Amino acid sequence: MSRYIPNTHADVQKMLDKIGVSSIEDLFIDIPKEVFLDRDLDLPEPMWEMELQSHMEELSKKNETVKRNICFLGAGAYDHYIPSVVGHIVGRSEFYTSYTPYQPEVSQGTLQAMFEYQTMICQLTGMYAANASVYDGATALAEAAKMACSVKSKQEVLISRAVHPHSREVLRTYARCNGIDVVEFDYEDGRISIDDLEAKLSNDTAAVIIQTPNFFGILENLDGIGELVHGHDALFIVSVDPISLSLIKPPSEYGADIVVGEGQSLGNPLNFGGPYVGFFATTKKLTRRMPGRIVGETVDADGKRGYVLTLQTREQHIRREKATSNICSNQSLNALIAAVYMSVMGREGLKEVGNLCVQKAYYAYDRLLEIDGLKAVFDAPFFKEFVIDIGKPAHELNRALLDYDIIGGYDISRDYPELEGSWLVAVTEKRTKREIDMLAEKVGELL
């Protein structure tokens, strides 16, 4: 029998005797004959451990990686440095082989870590309460829009065209089946068009959704937007890059009601797109309308401080179809990664990461603009990513750069046809001056 199944033949016999049947098949009598599978599944022969390892290594080597190449690709997933400590903590199987902390007396590890994570998200965003995470940034945004429609009893949300295309797509998928209208408003010189927002904003609007830094990497100036949105009795939803919040004003200061975002940057590997972690924070007033797991502080029978899942009357296992969402889990381990990352980085470290991103991104931007034929597209401050006009299809340049072990930027014309020939370049703290110089040099040669 498999090494994962301990029953020996003798065990099986004793167990069958105790149950009072003569074979295991007898236990499956409730499966009607018509649907009983009368053949073996057609699967490959089982591999032994070493064979499996070789097979997986072989498969993995068919991929290029950001370790073997120099990565300037971002667009929602970023090649930040992951401190060694992170892997050691999330590699503890007491964390990764446990489940949802339904029994708090034997789940304080997970619960306290989630409480710390929630606190850190509140610190970054300036909001009153955060949940223990959701699937990813895009689903966090969609859930926020749904929450706003429910809170305001309205069915229309406005979203900036400079929000990540995947987030807008996921929002549309969620909205379509709920009869929610998603209206996009335009950008102007890389930032939201206030004129277009004002034109489209009405008393039918349940929420306005803006991302900063936006998909172009640009920091939106959101002063006054909160008042504008609230003036139409709508909620203001802001999607943020958590790393940027070490330096940039928290959304609470410009009137956000819900703050969401993708937490991958906080210590989570790129993993070809997942698992990532969506964070979700809101105001005191809206806390009980928030979807997802929430951990709260309490005391035990001895008066000792401890943590439990709380405000569960919002959740599906109690409220069933009346729940705030169908979510019944979180991205616990990825949120733990984020908490450990933020602990290691700490107050100063996260600021340093942010500063290095800005400095290196600006250096790269200036270096690239020195090249003949490359042009600025927008004139607005950015954080760790910028758009640049290279005058030819970005995927062609990227293909050529790969010969020099460089993973180039994102071909932004995929999502914005009006930005044909433009390239979205990400520069994290990991990129060195030498690597940036090399990028500029190769781009200069190739164009």
Partner 1 sequence: MKDRKLIFELSREGRRGYSLPKCDVPERDLGELLGEDILRKEDPRLPEVSELDVIRHYTNLSQLNYSVDTQFYPLGSCTMKYNPKINEDVAKLEGFTDVHPYQSEETVQGCLELLYNMETLLSEITGMSRISFQPAAGAHGELTGLMIIKAYHENRGEGHRHKIIVPDSAHGTNPASAMMVGYDVVEVQSDERGCVDIEALKDVVDEDVAGLMLTNPNTLGLFEENIIQISEIIHGVGGLLYYDGANLNAIMGMARPGDMGFDVMHLNIHKTFSTPHGGGGPGSGPVGVKEDLIPFLPVPMVEKKDNKYYFDYDRPLSIGKVKTFYGNFNVIVKAYAYILSMGAEGLKAVSQNAVLNANYLMTMLKEYYDLPYDRYCMHEFVLSAKKQKNFDVSAMDIAKGLIDYGFHPPTVYFPMIVKEALMIEPTETESKETLDIFARVMAKLSKIAEEAPHKLKDSPHRAPMRRLDETRAARYPILRWENEG
Within residues 324-383, the interface with partner 1 by CB under 8 A covers 325-334, 336, 339-340, 342-353, 355-356, 358-360, 362-363, 381, 383
Q: What is the nearest approach in angstroms of partner 1 to the Cβ of residue 291? A: 10
Q: Give yes or no for residue 446 binding partner 1 (CB under 8 A).
A: no
Query: Which range touches partner 1 (CB under 8 A), out of 55-63, 185-193, 225-233, 438-446?
Result: 55-63
Would you say 331 or 422 has its CB closer to partner 1?
331
Q: Among 161, 183, 275, 391, which residue sits at the site for partner 1 (rule: CB under 8 A)?
A: 275
CA atoms within 13 A on the CB side of 283: 17
Q: Among 161, 194, 395, 447, which residue sits at the site for partner 1 (rule: CB under 8 A)?
A: 395
Query: Which range touches partner 1 (CB under 8 A), out of 202-210, 226-234, 371-379, 397-405?
Result: 397-405
Contacts of 378 (CB under 8 A, 6+ apart): 189, 190, 191, 216, 218, 386, 387
Contacts of 167 (CB under 8 A, 6+ apart): 137, 138, 141, 142, 211, 239
Contact assessment for residue 214 and residue 221, using Cβ atoms and an 8 Å cutoff? no
Residues 143-202 contacting partner 1, CB under 8 A: 146, 164, 166-167, 169-170, 172-174, 176-179
Q: What is the nearest approach in angstroms of partner 1 to the Cβ of residue 186? A: 21
Q: Among 70, 110, 207, 236, which residue sits at the site for partner 1 (rule: CB under 8 A)?
A: 110
Tokens of 160: 């900036």
427: phi then psi, degrees, rounded to nearest 5: -130, 110
Cβ neighbour number for residue 43 with a 10 Å cutoff? 6
SS3 label, residue 249? coil
For partner 1 (CB under 8 A), the number of binding residues is 206
Q: Give yes or no for residue 115 binding partner 1 (CB under 8 A).
A: yes
Residues 282-321 contacting partner 1, CB under 8 A: 287, 293-308, 310-313, 315-321
Would you say 232 or 269 has its CB closer to partner 1?
269
Q: What is the nearest approach in angstroms of partner 1 to the Cβ of residue 153? A: 15
Q: Give yes or no for residue 208 binding partner 1 (CB under 8 A).
A: no
Burial of residue 57 (CB within 10 Å: 0-12, 13-18, 19+) is exposed
Find how far residue 14's CA is from the centre of its chain. 50
Contact assessment for residue 409 and residue 424, using Cβ atoms and an 8 Å cutoff? yes
Contact assessment for residue 234 and residue 208, using Cβ atoms and an 8 Å cutoff? yes
216's enclosing H/E stretch is: none
Q: Among 156, 257, 385, 429, which residue sits at the site for partner 1 (rule: CB under 8 A)?
A: 429
Would you say 105 or 233 has its CB closer to partner 1?
105
Contact assessment for residue 115 and residue 310, using Cβ atoms and an 8 Å cutoff? no
Residues 226-265 contacting partner 1, CB under 8 A: 245-250, 262
Binding flags for partner 1, 4-43, as an x/- string (CB under 8 A)? xxxx---xx-xxx-xxxx--x-xxxxxxx-xxxx--xxxx
SS3 label, residue 311? coil
* Pairwise CA distance, residues 307 & 428, whole Å: 36
Would you say 202 or 271 has its CB closer to partner 1?
271
Q: What is the nearest approach in angstroms of partner 1 to the Cβ of residue 108? A: 4
